[in-house]
Chain A
Amino acid sequence: MREGPGPPAARNKGARTANVTDRFRRPFAADYPARSLHPGAWWLWALGLGTAASRSTNPLLLGLVLAVAGFVVAARRSTQPWADAYGVFLRLGLIVIAIRTVLHIVFGGGFGSTVLVTLPQAPLPGWASGVRIGGPVTAEGLVAAVTDGLRLAVLLACVGAANALANPKRLLRSLPAALYEVSVAVVVTLSTAPQLITSARQVRRARQLRGDRARGPRVLRTVLVPVLQDALDRSIALAAAMDSRGYGRTAGVPPAVRRATAAMLLAGLLGMCIGVYGLLDAGSPVLIGLPMLLLGAAMAAGGLLLAARRVPRTRYRPDRWRAREAAVALSGLAAVVAVLAAEALGDTDLVPPVAPLTWPSLPLLPAVGVLAAVLPAWVAPSPDSPPEAAA
């Protein structure tokens, strides 16, 4: 397909040289067919950054993570509707910081000596000892609360970045075959919402034609009923179409395999939950962190592979895992590894002490790791997806 016209001999020769240069240039060549990056790569990258952020309360490092994620989103997001997710998650993060701070002021932390203001303290009965409402607000406590909120907000921002960069529908398409039915349900729901709005608008216009200006409960009857009937008709038509097109063809699987599949999936998910907890919670032993996560993931993957035998589907032009995807995922992983390594080396700048208050300094190794995660801003293909935006 990349060959131009020309006499056969010349074309062959051209093809061979093209092949060689291709193999050499392929990974990051700008003219490489710019189908979008595998959504899984973006999620791995974002989760890597997020995990790195969750292990630190250093505002400088957290700010760096935020800047890196924001920069990559700005450089590589598309014009599609989901691309605004980053902004939404940033706002959500601000709310989280605000709540965390207010909670701290109201319920007090009470450590540190730099009292900024003393709120009136509500007297509580004896059994509530340990809980306090009001009282002195210290600078140290406030800083601890804000940085803690900031950590959560940055984690949210990383999730937002993944949402903004990866097409959610394509991510669903990349799910394992065993989860296919779930992903179809989600996709259908996603496309039904706009249809409902169109349908409601149509019916309301038709109501005006009858001179009907119903308000309140009567609107439910005159607008909602036809809209729901319409939605029901549509779903039945869609179900019939999907059935006609082979949806739900299954291959026979013996019951023993089915039970093994279910057991492996459950155990795997449990293992992954424990592993993620261990990894995000800095206080838990190293052993139940990464190793548990890997074990759980392996079990779950095995279960999914087994389950996939039930679904004879194949996939058209699946998103492939190539050098670019690996580079993007690795750059995210670099951030985690750097932070974990710094932790193991006992870098105190990761969680700077708040009492006494000092200006934190940027931990060198984690900063380098987080900076590596800015790589996708150049490595990932530019999402100038052509005709859709024009239409």
Chain B
Amino acid sequence: MLNTKNIYKPLKAKLTEVIEESPVIKTFVLIPEKEFSFGTGQFIELSVDGIGEAPFTPSSSPLVKDKLEVTVMKTGYVTEYMHDLKPGCHMGIRGPYGRGYPVESFYGKQVLILGGGCGLAPIRSLLYALEHIKDKLEKVILCYGSKTASDCIYKPLFSRLNSIDKFEAHRTVDKAEPGWDGSVGVVTTLLNKINVNLKNSIAVVCGPPVMMKFGTIRLLEMGYSDDQIYLSMEKNMSCGLGKCGHCMMGEFFVCKDGPVFTYNELKNTPDIWK
């Protein structure tokens, strides 16, 4: 039967809470008008009425169907308007779109997650999903880097993760502020502190382009193979439907073929880190 759904029409969602994560990052808690489910790592197009829409990967658990959390860094035209929104208003949601993390293929393995900056938002959703299936995993290790300690989002997440069986979380900052007694240095320095069983591990990288690039290079040096590394790519996904062309990266539509790719799929595509 032919699908009669209008693929461009958003679903309205009520903004019920705005959580300030850092001076430039807020989490928007949304209750969609209809049940809305997504796979971890998939993204949505979130719109401010009459202003514009932008792609975000939800930061909440994919197991929760009636509520959605989206963590947004104030960085452009649409996100500036988003940061001014107050609870009670409505936002628009289209999606979910794309190919998320293939968590079922992680069964029995160690999952190493390398995150940077606002990349922790999609990672948080992945961590919820992995926590749900932790009996089927060997270990989950999170290595996360932020510019400073105050730029780090979801601070309580780290102590909580460290209290979960099979989970461990490490943090580093590029620049130490007074009172910080943890690691200092780029996120890849944390990789020297962890023990992984390379043969039975996969790595997930999510963060700003430069961090993704050097993170991937370091993982390859450690001995990870190209298809053991999962990258969450960020491009100008405008329609989310594999049509508008804005997110083309070589022959891929990042919105439809990704946003999660293995490095093996992308290694011959030029300019992937831009």
Query: Is B truly associated with A?
Result: no
Measured CB to CB, the residues of A under 8 A from B are none
